[in-house]
Structure 1
Amino acid sequence: MSLQPLMVGLSLVFLSGCPGMAAPPGEAGDKTSYMENYDLNILDINIYGENYDYDDLDQEIEVDTVAPDIPSPANQATVKNSKEDMTLPTVHPGPVTVDYKGQGLFGPETSLGMPTCLLCVCIGGSVYCEDIGLEQIPPLPKGTTHFYGRFNKIRHVKNTDFISLNKLQSIDLTGNQISEMDEDTFRFLPKIQELILAGNNLQVMPELPVTMKHIDLRNNRLSSWGVHSEGFKDMSQLESLYLSDNKLDYIPTPLPLSLRVLHLQNNNIQSLHEDTFCNHHDHNFIRYNLEDIRLDANPLNINLFPQAYVCLPRLPVGSH
């Protein structure tokens, strides 16, 4: 039975007897008499002409607590089997190192057929393995075009590090500790164009492919005996060659006609040959592209070798 009619009736009774309410006409000054004559027992009020049993009300509004069903032994077996079907195998990963051959270190299809790129960041054909404490070149995806391994602890670059990477165009190993590099490390990379090895400990320059466009070997320990004779001669696409801050005694010649930038400052160069840049057999020869030559901070007075510059569009920067 609904409690709403009962509550409405009670509200009307209390409101009619509330002292704050206006008294009926003619009784405004006799509040005491009004309240004394108001002798109602609210429990005797019968709004609908029937006696209300409050014990029944208690029974009607009683809320039972619903206990969870307890599965029978057969159902328990079904639940157990369902949980077993949903249970995943526990994986115990091994230590993550560069030599780690387990699943998940590098992602699909590296040059060594390993899975790729959880240790490094791969974006398109570019692989970024910078400043993560590497001690050797990691296996790279076969589709790698640019590899950035700067600021690690690599000491030795092996001829197997870039094997079968036929799309590789650029390698940047700036700021490592490389002192040893296999002779043919880069020889069989058909599309390599850029090599940056600045800030290492190299004494010998590796053999480089003729496809090179940009070579940066600044801040190493290269001496002239460590640079191949005529090592740049056939690089018909070479545009920039950075060899500053080494121990070179002379400029490695011959230089390709495509060269635009040659930086050799802070070496031990003391003299120039008249054919270093020009061709003394051809007085009409002009090296049009080479406009940026740095020879400053060498024990060299460039005024002593005027015949070495007659074919250049600009004089080298150096001591006069």
Structure 2
Amino acid sequence: MRMLVRLVLGLFVLKAVVAGPRFSRQVDLDSYDNANYDVDLDNLNLENQDIYDYEDELTIDDPQIEIGTLAPPDYNYPVPEASLEEEVEEGEEEEEEELPLTPQLIPQGSGGSGVLMGPNTQKEEGLLPVTPETSQEVTGGVEGSVSSGEPDEPEEPVIDRKGMPTCLLCTCLGGSVYCDDLKLDSVPPLPKDTTHFYARYNRITKINKSDFAFMNKLKRIDLTANEITSIDDRAFLGLPELEELVIRENHITQMPALPQTMSLIDGSHNNIGSRGIHKEAFKDMTSLLYLYLTDNHIDYIPVPLPESLRSLHLQRNNIQMMHGDTFCNLQDFNYIRNALEDIRLDGNPINLSKTPQAYVCLPRIPIGALI
């Protein structure tokens, strides 16, 4: 019976030692260094003579092994010095193997991108030798002008506008055609159903009779800021629906003949002189509302003016005198011209105070110098 108790106690002690963290750590460290962390399993021999050695010290009632007092595990495993030296040597070898990459040209027809990057590309057969000229060609021709540090300004694309469909060159929205700022030097062919045509800020120099032929629906033409010097006198007479013509900021010297359907005429900022307007040019335009001839060389007011006119701008011309019947009817003192509310004569060498009878029928006196 005593032998059995000792055997059970020995098994209990063995189990406690094996389960301890120090024993497990020592077993794990066997893979790092067998010389320093070798566990001698012979010390754990379970023969009877070892059990008998504890006979005088251990009893069943008073075990002397304190499992709770075992040292805490140490997870800071030492790294063998040999492995550290190997890693340092490997890093040095990798640094020594890195060689500078030298761009090389591939001969034409090889199918490559034109540049090879690699340590030994100069030994490849068929490659061109690297010279200062070829290196400049690589950096300048293949990769662009990198050395300058400034991006090249994009060149203006050359567009062949001749023969191009108008609605591909311009913008067509319904019956409106917009050809603004396209560097046009002539009026492009327009669709027959065009109602409004805009060709501002171009380089058109002349308006021909055929430019607007058979445009029966055209109502507005705007040719602002071109380089027009001449207009065919009958260029607009064949337009039965034309109502608005804007030809300001050009170099026109002669106003063309216009249909009686006009409601707005703007020929400001041109070179129209004393003989640049046809006699009684606006008399039969019963729908004319706005007549703008600012900044020209006109030296008289182009009378007679239609009763429908609301605004007359003639500032900065060369008008020097005005007759009493320019706006009013001196034979009928009850005549009142209510529509003409806006008359601009400022910037002309005329004294408006000398002809007060010329304004008695107007709702407002003209704007200009009174001295």
- How would you bin the TM-score normalised by the shorter chain? 0.5 to 0.7
Q: 1:222 corresponds to which residue?
A: 272
Q: TM-score, normalised by structure 1?
A: 0.67
Matched, 1:99 2:165: no
- Stretches of structure 1 that go unaligned for 5 or more consecutive residues are 1-23, 38-94, 107-115
> In angstroms, what is the RMSD of aligned CA positions?
2.1
Matched, 1:147 2:197: yes
Matched, 1:319 2:307: no
- Higher alpha-carbon Rg: 2
Note the alpha carbon deviations across 1:97-116, whole angstroms, 9 max, x for none: 4432xxxx22xxxxxxxxx4
- Aligned AA for 2:199? G
Matched, 1:268 2:318: yes
Q: What is the correspondence of 1:271-286 to structure 2 with a 5 Å cutoff?
A: 271-286=321-336
- Distance in structure 2 (CA, Å) of the matches to 1:234 and 1:28: 126
Local SS of the residue matching 2:275? helix
Correspondence for 2:259 among 206, 209, 218: 209
Correspondence for 1:166 among 216, 237, 248: 216
Answer whether contact 1:98 1:138 (CA < 8 A) is retained. no
Percentage of identical aligned residues: 53
Q: CA deviation at 1:284?
A: 1.5
Note the alpha carbon deviations across 1:79-99, whole angstroms, 9 max, x for none: xxxxxxxxxxxxxxxx85443
Matched, 1:176 2:226: yes
Q: What is the correspondence of 1:1-320 to structure 2 with a 5 Å cutoff?
A: 27-30=15-18, 96-100=159-163, 105-106=164-165, 116-320=166-370
Q: TM-score, normalised by structure 2?
A: 0.58
Note the alpha carbon deviations across 1:276-297, whole angstroms, 9 max, x for none: 1111122221111000000001
Change in CA separation of 1:28 and 1:150 when aligned onto 2, cut-off 3 Å: same
- Aligned AA for 1:265? Q
- Distance in structure 2 (CA, Å) of the matches to 1:26 and 1:167: 113
- Distance in structure 2 (CA, Å) of the matches to 1:148 and 1:25: 107
- Distance in structure 2 (CA, Å) of the matches to 1:147 and 1:28: 103
Higher relative contact order (CA 8 A, sep 6+): 1
Structure with higher helix content: 2
- Stretches of structure 2 that go unaligned for 5 or more consecutive residues are 1-11, 28-40, 43-157
- Distance in structure 2 (CA, Å) of the matches to 1:142 and 1:96: 25
Q: CA deviation at 1:213?
A: 0.4
Q: CA deviation at 1:26?
A: 6.8
Answer whether contact 1:224 1:252 (CA < 8 A) is retained. no
Local SS of the residue matching 1:127? strand
Local SS of the residue matching 2:283? coil
- Distance in structure 1 (CA, Å) of the matches to 2:340 and 2:280: 18
Local SS of the residue matching 1:262? strand
Local SS of the residue matching 1:225? coil
Note the alpha carbon deviations across 1:163-200, whole angstroms, 9 max, x for none: 11111110100101111100101001011100000101
Local SS of the residue matching 1:161? helix
Moved over 3 A (4+): 95-99
Q: CA deviation at 1:233?
A: 0.4
- Aligned AA for 2:15? E
- Distance in structure 1 (CA, Å) of the matches to 2:160 and 2:17: 99
